[in-house]
Structure 1
């Protein structure tokens, strides 16, 4: 009896339940936070890794519109308190993308070989489609 009492103390003073806690569903904010964290993780690995990330997370409606990074890396710092839906937005000359489009205020830091070459504050659009987060990287010289 003493051994079972000690065991109960070690597991929080209550018998173990046979029902596991239900996992909280992932929110759009969770998906956006994960996207921006992965974006910066790719930047930490270099320009090629970041371009690979951008290629795999480019919105499927705009897969052919990607920018060359030309040896640059970009860190993006979102102001998550500014996130809001932007249902009427579309990239220049295109129709509205599928999914739920969000706009978020961001601070960008651009580096070449670890050396700061620029900083900018602006807005970033991202979309959630089929519970995946996609970005938009249109440019004048698609790859």
Structure 2
């Protein structure tokens, strides 16, 4: 169980989680996020959860394929755990100054933060749930994320 809590903490850290996400949908200039980028972020979470439904290996493959290219060396293996992430897209807003922990610069693309509910499962049993926030970056017409890394 301590390992699961470590996953939650690292998921929160890796994706920049906090307990609240205030505000409305914003883009860099303060206007609403472009509809296409909003749709790409929504589709990212749909695909994330579809991969989770297929099991740990499929989700690992998804996380590897969708890891932001500037941080492709920062992927992790969640073992037999599966994450389900439900975004509150009404909270989607730009986060221009964010950068991953220990990174020297922000990722290329439009960085967004969104409130999420994360469920961690093993063999269809829920081990833990947490509400926080997650970063997704739209770059060259694709949505990218940042794979969570467990700690022990």
Work out the CA distance in 2 between the residues paired with 1:110 and 1:139.
Answer: 13
Alignment of 1:104 onto 2:114? yes
Residue segments in structure 1 that go unaligned for 5+ positions in a row: 1-24
Paired residue total:
117
In structure 1, the residue matched to 2:141 is 131
Residue segments in structure 2 that go unaligned for 5+ positions in a row: 1-33
Could you tell me the TM-score, scaled by structure 2's length?
0.74
RMSD: 1.6
Work out the CA distance in 1 between the residues paired with 2:55 and 2:113.
Answer: 26
Partner secondary structure for residue 27 of structure 1: helix
Give 1 or 2 for the bigger CA radius of gyration: 1
Work out the CA distance in 2 between the residues paired with 1:122 and 1:66.
Answer: 20
Work out the CA distance in 2 between the residues paired with 1:106 and 1:132.
Answer: 20
Could you tell me the TM-score, scaled by structure 1's length?
0.78
Work out the CA distance in 2 between the residues paired with 1:80 and 1:26.
Answer: 12
Alignment of 1:15-94 (within 5 A): 27-94=36-103
